[in-house]
Structure 1
Amino acid sequence: MSTGATNAAFDEVVRLLRFDTTSRDSNLAIVEYVTEKLRGVGVEPTLVPNEDGTKANLFATIPAADGTTSGGIVLSGHTDVVPVDGQVWASDPFDPVVRDGLLYGRGSCDMKAFIGVILAKLPQLVEARLAEPIHLAFSYDEEVGCLGAVSLIEAMQVAGLTPRGCIVGEPTSMRVVLGHKSINVFRIDFRGVAAHSSLTPEGVNAIVHASEFAVFAQRIADEFRDNGPFDEHYVVPFTTLSVNQINGGIAVNTVPAECSLVFEFRSVAAVDQAQLTQRFRTEVQRIDAVMSAQNPEAGAKLTVVAAAPGVDTPDDADIVSFAAACGAIPSPDKATFGTEAGLFAQAGIPTVVCGPGDIAQAHAPNEFIALEQIEQCERFLEGVIDSLSTSD
């Protein structure tokens, strides 16, 4: 095992934390930095930009000693972070500091520490005589619905990469996490007809119809809570559903013509994600018909804001035993949070979630990661290199 890599890993993590990669902004600066690091060790990355070119995914392959790029393991991470707006920090969130063995900074545990350790290990990765390749996959816009990883995985498939497994380095305290629920976010726009509140029959009240849907959604949430299906490996062992935002109306004496409602559900593997989504579409279509009957100008429309599949990797999958053999902590746990793991699994790549840090610190003010967790991640990456290296 390496003895001098800790300082290198720490330095790389600190450099990454100084990039403000809040999802609403560009991530190109950090992608350019990673590109330079890869080219510095002779690896040429592929960039997959978004439509307007303001953001980019990146993937790169460190081939096997014989030049093979098929098979191998993906190490996956996202470059974006959540905002710090309205949060009170004890220090600048983008100027990382260490206090009492903890490294503070936005993205420290979610999830730039994992990427930083990978960058620190690049010289070892390219010098190793690998029996099979290691693929690096870094995305944009994970924090706003796993948006970037969709085109990233498609580009990897077009390039002919066929990994046998993937490790998504989200914070699990270096435990091997086998699954998480799907993530599904929707907005419904209710278009009513305005009228003076003394003449309500002349209007169509958008808020009333939005409230009707909210009640419908809560009934479904109650069904899952009471009847399941259940998966006891989750802290909340059933599919959850909640209406989390609603906005409408302009004045107390005006029938509201507009109302928007945002809701989400997170489903366990036993629930058909598409079938449940269709259940909501059907209800919106019913409300749309009712509103249109009141006035042809009224109606309701559902928009999918984000939809990422869950993951439920069998505990006997090769990637599970591989991660454990590399030094990760075996566990039957499933994550309360969503990741890009479901997208890799959907693409036919068995995937686990395993990375440094504790999700309890993610997104919070004064986000931190314990330096000991960075060291554990280093040992894990060294285990990955050792496991994939040939003795020839």
Structure 2
Amino acid sequence: MDFDLRAFVDRLCRFRTTAGEEAVAAEWLCERLAELDFDTYTWDADPELLSDHPSFPDDPNAIDVDGRRSVAGVLALGEADPNGGDEYPTVVLNGHLDVVPADRTVWSSDPYEPVRRNSPDDGNSDDPETLTARGAADMKSAVGACVAAALDVRESVESGAFDADLRIVVEAVAGEEDGGFGAATAALENPYPFDRDAAIVAEPTALRPVVACEGCLMKRLELTGRSAHAAMRWVGEDVLPRFERIRRAFVDLESERSATATHPLYEGFEIPAPVVCGTVEAGSWASTVPSSLTAEFRIGVLPGETVDEVEDQFEQRLAEVVADDPWLREQPPTFERFSVQFEPSEIDADEPIVDAVREGMAVTGVPDADPAAATYGADARHYVEAGIPTVVFGPGSISEAHYPDETIEWDEVERARKAIATAVLEYAGSDADDR
């Protein structure tokens, strides 16, 4: 069956796959993979399994898995057995189905109606073809590129252009934006009847191999003051100046950590481990001294660190601020974890799957670049924790992810398709002792 990558990605982008809404898209993709002669697998996130993972809440009831379905298609090529037998290499090509919400008021078009500019149907143009839609860069185009790459490998093997015995798994998982519901479940409880040797997670890296991803600590700060009428604010205890002292202390700690960071792959970043206070709610009325405040922080964790270690640093800095404030000593703030924690991940830049991706880059004409690092987290960490060497490599820029008018240049998608297909063939043809 012919595969139209443009049509495939456009259809996938039309699904509104925000948190908990992945199942309909997963069902469509499963049917499409079956039509393309993949063996298909589906799995739902398992709250009991995830509650034992340090990234997720300890209480299974706090992990909402409704609608969080993941899907995969498997191609067994040459003499490889789709039902097992681990003497043949297996490469996972992973992407996620979920997207972050899109505010229509700040988009120039409907986020879920793909807009193509300068496409072949528009006639000749010197400008690159682009696709704009929620998920265009993060990362439905990459899911399509993985499917297309797998089909290209099958054609190469079946036509005799390349002699290889291997399995390719194309995964589209749920809940990556919320910590990796689908990938963590698959890593902890293998949904396939065979082992996985290596993986490529096709997040947007501008076609550069990423071997180190940051983790993050999510913490919620709560402060208590004393309300008073605004006309007599001096009799109240305003939480805002106290919050600002705490926030400033955390910014100072961020600077100290940046100055002492020793990881070589993060030396080029202006802020290697960013700290952001993403939400603040304070007070109840404009004419009342604010007596309560809730703020949520996202704190970066570098490879080589643990979430627990970084948490201790910020807990200590908070304790120092509290010790200097009589009111906070009497009314101590709470500073608790919330949501999902991301541990950092890293693999050796000399892993065969990294070499294979770099070979794919060379064949595609992508300028060779040394393996890099990212200040964001990705599902790669779940596979690395499971002992599966995983490189992050895909089309598009992370600067487009989560932004209004999210856009990708289509040429990068096609180049990613070719690079990933070449990487799979290169990995399959490498010395078995290297795997």
TM range (shorter): 0.7 to 0.9
Kindly provide the amino acid, as one letter, of the partner of residue 188 in structure 2: E
Closer/same/farther in 2, CA of residues 220 and 388 from structure 1, 3 Å limit:
closer
Match of 2:378 in 1: 339
- Bigger Cα displacement from structure 2, 285-294 vs 133-142: 285-294
Closer/same/farther in 2, CA of residues 152 and 258 from structure 1, 3 Å limit:
farther
Match of 1:247 in 2: 281
- The whole-number CA distance in structure 2 between the counterparts of 1:385 and 1:315 is 17
**Does structure 1 residue 181 correspond to structure 2 residue 214?**
yes
- The whole-number CA distance in structure 2 between the counterparts of 1:307 and 1:11 is 36
Q: 1:376 aligns with which of 415, 425, 431?
A: 415
Kept in 2, the 8 Å contact 1:173–1:355? The answer is yes
Query: Any residues of structure 2 matched to 1:296-335 within 5 Å, and which?
Result: 299-327=333-361, 329=366, 330-332=368-370, 333-335=372-374
Kept in 2, the 8 Å contact 1:72–1:132? The answer is yes
What is the CA distance between 1:181 and its match in structure 2? 2.0
Kept in 2, the 8 Å contact 1:147–1:306? The answer is no
Closer/same/farther in 2, CA of residues 207 and 303 from structure 1, 3 Å limit:
farther
Closer/same/farther in 2, CA of residues 144 and 384 from structure 1, 3 Å limit:
same
Describe the SS at the equivalent of 1:247. strand
What is the CA distance between 1:209 and its match in structure 2? 4.6
Closer/same/farther in 2, CA of residues 284 and 225 from structure 1, 3 Å limit:
closer
Match of 2:112 in 1: 94
Q: 2:26 aligns with which of 6, 14, 31?
A: 31
What is the CA distance between 1:355 and its match in structure 2? 0.8
Query: Any residues of structure 2 matched to 1:1-392 within 5 Å, and which?
Result: 8-23=4-19, 25-40=20-35, 41-49=37-45, 51-63=64-76, 65-67=79-81, 68=84, 70=86, 71-85=89-103, 88-100=106-118, 101-120=129-148, 123=151, 128=157, 131-156=165-190, 161-192=194-225, 194=227, 198=232, 206-207=239-240, 209-229=242-262, 231=264, 232=266, 234-236=268-270, 238-252=272-286, 254-282=288-316, 294=330, 299-327=333-361, 329=366, 330-332=368-370, 333-387=372-426
The alignment's TM-score, normalised by the length of structure 2, stands at 0.75
Closer/same/farther in 2, CA of residues 243 and 257 from structure 1, 3 Å limit:
same
Kept in 2, the 8 Å contact 1:181–1:337? The answer is yes
What is the CA distance between 1:62 and its match in structure 2? 3.2
Kept in 2, the 8 Å contact 1:317–1:350? The answer is yes
What is the CA distance between 1:110 and its match in structure 2? 1.4
Closer/same/farther in 2, CA of residues 287 and 236 from structure 1, 3 Å limit:
closer
Identity across the alignment (%): 23
What is the CA distance between 1:58 and its match in structure 2? 2.7
- The whole-number CA distance in structure 2 between the counterparts of 1:196 and 1:294 is 22
Match of 2:51 in 1: none
The alignment's TM-score, normalised by the length of structure 1, stands at 0.83
What is the CA distance between 1:124 and its match in structure 2? 5.1
Closer/same/farther in 2, CA of residues 36 and 388 from structure 1, 3 Å limit:
farther
- The whole-number CA distance in structure 2 between the counterparts of 1:122 and 1:318 is 19
- Bigger Cα displacement from structure 2, 326-335 vs 35-44: 326-335
Which sections of structure 2, spanning at least 5 residues, go unmatched?
A: 47-63, 119-128, 159-163, 430-435
Kindly provide the amino acid, as one letter, of the partner of residue 62 in structure 1: L
What is the CA distance between 1:32 and its match in structure 2? 0.4
Kept in 1, the 8 Å contact 2:153–2:424? The answer is yes
What is the CA distance between 1:284 and its match in structure 2? 5.6
Root-mean-square deviation (CA), in Å?
3.3
Aligned length: 381
- The whole-number CA distance in structure 2 between the counterparts of 1:285 and 1:224 is 18
What is the CA distance between 1:288 and its match in structure 2? 8.4
Which sections of structure 1, spanning at least 5 residues, go unmatched?
A: none
Kindly provide the amino acid, as one letter, of the partner of residue 43 in structure 2: L
What is the CA distance between 1:151 and its match in structure 2? 2.4
